[in-house]
Copies of this chain bind each other. A is one copy, B any other.
Amino acid sequence: MSIALHTVAIRLRQAREQLGLSQKKLGILAGIDEFSASARMNQYERGKHLPDVYMVARLAKALSIPEPYFYCEDETLALIVLALKDATQLQKKSALEFVKALDKLKL
């Protein structure tokens, strides 16, 4: 019997496995002490504890993933955020215009 995992926990495991890292290694990459990295990362992924925003920021950096990705419940929005990772300001502006236009279109 278990309570539903928070999006942060789900996205974290998702992103880590994508890169083929162990919980411990990712923790160390994010700057956690090597003796507690394994336990802490596991607690995050299992939903035992929640990483605070600063920790999520360091994990995001270690994984090269935008921070807001970890808070996207909607899978498609998560993918949009991910796809905009290396976008230039101009590209983002362009995407914004597209989305605004989309809104008026009621597709």
Contact = CB atoms under 8 A, between A and B. Distances in A.
Contacts of A103: 83, 86-87, 91
Contact of A91 (B6, B71, B96, B102): B102
A99 interface: yes
A48 interface: no
Interface string A1-18: 000001110000000000
Interface string A78-104: 011101101111111111101110110
Contacts of A83: 96, 99-100, 103
A89 to B, nearest CB: 7
Contacts of A88: 107
Contact of A80 (B74, B76, B95): B95
A74 B81 CA distance: 11
A62 interface: no
Given A53-B8, A68-B68, A107 B80 contact: no
A55 to B, nearest CB: 11
